[in-house]
C-alpha cells in the first residue's frame, strides 16, 4: 500500500506471523526475544524488512511504523547512509578489542553536543549504562542509596526495576520481577515525579546517604510526562546542596527531543547522562557522558568492563546517525510531524466521542484513552488500556504498527503524507469499533 490508498481494514489475519510465532515458542521462551514483545496484540508480528518509515511483515503486509524498534530507529529503517557506513566498517573488521578512530571521533561529537559531557563511556544497552552510572555515583560520593521516581524505567537490572509498573499506595518501593534481589529495596527511595519538595526534603535529611538521583527528565516510559516548570532546576539545586550525583536517563530523550536531548531542551545540566536508543540508529550502543572527574574514576578503581564496549560497527552506525541528526531541519521536522499527528488524533478521537489525552514532547507522542488530562504516572496506569489494545489491532489491520501502552515514536522519515494517512486509518479503525459497539462511553457521560 502506498500513501493515498484506501485505509479500510485490509488485513484479516496474519497467518505467516502466527505460524512463525508458534514455531518460535519451541525454541524461544514465549516465542519472543524480550518478554514485553509477547504482549503485542493480537500476537507478536514477524517482520521481513523495513525501509524508511515502513515495515513489511512475513505475510507481505506493509505498515507505517510508530514502534521504531521501541525507539532506536530515529532515522528510519535501513537509511542508505547508515547502511553504507556499517558496510564499509564491516569490510574492515568487526571488533578489535583495542582502540580505533571511531571510538574517540564519535565521543568528541557527543562531548560537543551533550550538555555537561566532558568524557564518554561506551557500552551496549541502556540497562548496563545506567548500572555503571550508579556505580560511578556511589564511588564519587562514598554513599550507598539512590532516588528514583514512580513509573520511571531505567532498565531491567535488580537495583533499577523498582516501582515501575507496580506502585504501592503509600509510595513504598516495589520489586518488579520474580527472582529480583529484595535487598535492593533498602537502597532506594522512590518519590513521585515532579515533587521537588519531596526530593529536597529527603536529600536534606542527615544520614539520607543518597549517592544519586536518577530521573527520566521527560517521563517517557509512563505517559511521556514533561517535567513540571522548575522541577529539573530544583533537582539540580538539591543535588548541588547535598553532593548527590544527578543522573539524567536520556535513553529515550537523548538526541531525540533536541540535538542535546532534555538537558538542552530544558536548560538543566546533569552530572551524568545516559544515552542509548537513538544513538546508533538501530544498532546496539549506549553511553554515559558527563563530568570528567566522575567518569575518570574508571581509571582509578571503578570497574567498567565489556567485550563489546566501543564496538566499531555500532560506532560507524552512530557516526552516520549523528550526521543525519545534524541538519538544521531535523528537529523542526520531528516536532512538526509529531504536532500534526497529535492534532489529527485529537480531532479523530473527538469526532468519535472517545475521551483521550493526546500530547507529545518532540517526536515522542502519548495517547492515554479514557482520561481528559494526564498529570501523573498513576493517571496513565489507570487509563483504558483494554480499549486501546482493541484499537491498535484495528489500526494494525489498516497498516499502522503501534506500541501497546500508548507511546508513539516518529522518525526523520515520517512525512506529512504518512501522518495524514495515519490519521485517516485511525479514523477508520475508530469507526469500525463504533459500528461493533466497542467504543468506550465518553468520560463525561459516566
Q: In the bound complex, what is the minimum distance in angstroms from residue 262's beta carbon to ligand PMP? A: 11
Which uninterrupted H or E stretch holds 341?
helix 330-351
Catalytic residue among 57, 62, 65, 249: 249
Sheet holding 62-65, edge to edge: 47-51, 54-57, 62-65, 400-401
Cα(281)–Cα(258) distance, integer angstroms:
16
Query: Quick one: which of 72, 34, 109 has its CA closest to 285?
Result: 72
Interface segment toward ligand PMP; rule CB under 6 A; list 44-52, 135-143, 244-252, 345-353: 244-252
Residue 176 — φ and ψ, nearest 5°?
-105, -5
Distance, in Å, from the CA atom of 256 to the CA atom of 318, rounded to the nearest integer, reads 14
Read off the C-alpha cell for 32.
519472543
Q: Which stretch binds ligand PMP (CB under 6 A): 15-23, 136-144, 149-157, 373-381?
A: 149-157
Smallest distance from ligand PMP to CB 409, Å: 11
Q: Active site residue: 266, 271, 277, 427, which one?
A: 277
Residue of the chain from 74, 82, 130, 245 that contacts ligand PMP (CB under 6 A): 130
Q: Where are the beta strands (DSSP E) in 150-300?
A: 188-191, 210-215, 245-249, 272-275, 286-290
Choose the stretch contacting ligand PMP; rule: CB under 6 A; options: 41-49, 74-82, 119-127, 139-147.
119-127
Q: Output DSSP code: residue 225.
A: B
Q: In angstroms, give the least distance from the CB of 214 to ligand PMP.
A: 9
- 201-230 footprint of ligand PMP as x/- string (CB under 6 A): ---------------x----x---------
* Nearest of 159, 105, 104 to residue 128 by alpha carbon: 159
249 is catalytic: yes
CA separation (Å) from 180 to 154, 171, 177, 357?
15, 19, 6, 34
- Shortest reach from residue 445's CB to ligand PMP, in Å: 36
Q: How far is the CB of 125 from ligand PMP (least distance, A)?
A: 4
Closest approach of ligand PMP to the CB of residue 286, in Å: 6
Q: Which stretch binds ligand PMP (CB under 6 A): 249-257, 314-322, 383-391, 420-428?
A: 249-257
Q: Which SS3 state, helix, strand or coil, does residue 293 take?
A: helix
**The one segment of 90-98, 151-159, 175-183, 323-331 that binds ligand PMP by CB under 6 A:** 151-159
What's the min distance (Å) between Cβ of 2 and ligand PMP?
32
Q: Is 270 in the site for ligand PMP (CB under 6 A)?
A: no
Closest to 413 (Cα-Cα) out of 3, 64, 63: 64
409 an active-site residue?
A: no
Q: Which of 102, 251, 288, 429 binds ligand PMP (CB under 6 A)?
A: 251
What SS3 state is found at 122? strand
Residue 155 in the binding site for ligand PMP (CB under 6 A): yes
Helix residue ranges per DSSP H, 249-290: 261-265
Q: Does 341 bind ligand PMP (CB under 6 A)?
A: no
Q: Give yes or no for residue 126 binding ligand PMP (CB under 6 A).
A: yes
The per-residue b/e assignment along 48-87, b for 16 or more CB within 10 angstroms, e otherwise, is eebebbbbebbbebbbbbbbbeebbbbbbbebeebeebbe
Residue 287 binds ligand PMP, judged by CB under 6 A:
no
Active site residue 148: no
Binding site for ligand PMP (CB under 6 A): 125-127, 130, 153-155, 216, 221, 249, 251-252, 276
Residues with catalytic annotation?
153, 249, 277
Amino acid at each position: 500500500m502506498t500513501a493515498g490508498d484506501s485505509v479500510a481494514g485490509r488485513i484479516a489475519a496474519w497467518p505467516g506471523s502466527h505460524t512463525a510465532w508458534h514455531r518460535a515458542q519451541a525454541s524461544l521462551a514465549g516465542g519472543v526475544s524480550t518478554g514485553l514483545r509477547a504482549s503485542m496484540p493480537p500476537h507478536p508480528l514477524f517482520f521481513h524488512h523495513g525501509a524508511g518509515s515502513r515495515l513489511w511483515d512475513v505475510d507481505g503486509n506493509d505498515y507505517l511504523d510508530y514502534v521504531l524498534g521501541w525507539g532506536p530507529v530515529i532515522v528510519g529503517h535501513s537509511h542508505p547512509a547508515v547502511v553504507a557506513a556499517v558496510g564499509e566498517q564491516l569490510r574492515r573488521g568487526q571488533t578489535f578489542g583495542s582502540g580505533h578512530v571511531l571510538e574517540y571521533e564519535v565521543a568528541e561529537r557527543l562531548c560537543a553536543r551533550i550538555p555537561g559531557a566532558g568524557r564518554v563511556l561506551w557500552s551496549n544497552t541502556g540497562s548496563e549504562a545506567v548500572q555503571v552510572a550508579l556505580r560511578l555515583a556511589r564511588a564519587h560520593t562514598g554513599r550507598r542509596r539512590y532516588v528514583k521516581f514512580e513509573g520511571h524505567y531505567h532498565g531491567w537490572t535488580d537495583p533499577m526495576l523498582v516501582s515501575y509498573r507496580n506502585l504501592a499506595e503509600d509510595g513504598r518501593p516495589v520489586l518488579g520481577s520474580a527472582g529480583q534481589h529484595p535487598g535492593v529495596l533498602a537502597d532506594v527511595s522512590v518519590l513521585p515525579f515532579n515533587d521537588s519538595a519531596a526530593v529536597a526534603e529527603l536529600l536534606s535529611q542527615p544520614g539520607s546517604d543518597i549517592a544519586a538521583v536518577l530521573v527520566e527528565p521527560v517521563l517517557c516510559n509512563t505517559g511521556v510526562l514533561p517535567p513540571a516548570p522548575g522541577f529539573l532546576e530544583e533537582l539540580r539545586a538539591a543535588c548541588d546542596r547535598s553532593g548527590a550525583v544527578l543522573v539524567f536517563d536520556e535513553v529515550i530523550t537523548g538526541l531525540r527531543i533536541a540535538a542535546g536531548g532534555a538537558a538542552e531542551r530544558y536548560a538543566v545540566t546533569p552530572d551524568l547522562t545516559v544515552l542509548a536508543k537513538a544513538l546508533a540508529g538501530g544498532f546496539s550502543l549506549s553511553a554515559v557522558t558527563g563530568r570528567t572527574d566522575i567518569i575518570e574514576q574508571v581509571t582509578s578503581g571503578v570497574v567498567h568492563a565489556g567485550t563489546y564496549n566501543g564496538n566499531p560497527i555500532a560506532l560507524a552506525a552512530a557516526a552516520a546517525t549523528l550526521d543525519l541528526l545534524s541538519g538544521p531541519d531535523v528537529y523542526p521536522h520531528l516536532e512538526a510531524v509529531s504536532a500534526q499527528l497529535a492534532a489529527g488524533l485529537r480531532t479523530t478521537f473527538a469526532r468519535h466521542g472517545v475521551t483521550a489525552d493526546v500530547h507529545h514532547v518532540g517526536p515522542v507522542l502519548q495517547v492515554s484513552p479514557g482520561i481528559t488530562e494526564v498529570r501523573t504516572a498513576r493517571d496513565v496506569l489507570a487509563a483504558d488500556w483494554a480499549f486501546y489494545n482493541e484499537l491498535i489491532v484495528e489500526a494494525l489491520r489498516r497498516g499502522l504498527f503501534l506500541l501497546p501502552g500508548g507511546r508513539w515514536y516518529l522518525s526523520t522519515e515520517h512525512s506529512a503524507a504518512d501522518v495524514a494517512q495515519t490519521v485517516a486509518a485511525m479514523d477508520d479503525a475508530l469507526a469500525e469499533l463504533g459500528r461493533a459497539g466497542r467504543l468506550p462511553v465518553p468520560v463525561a457521560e459516566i
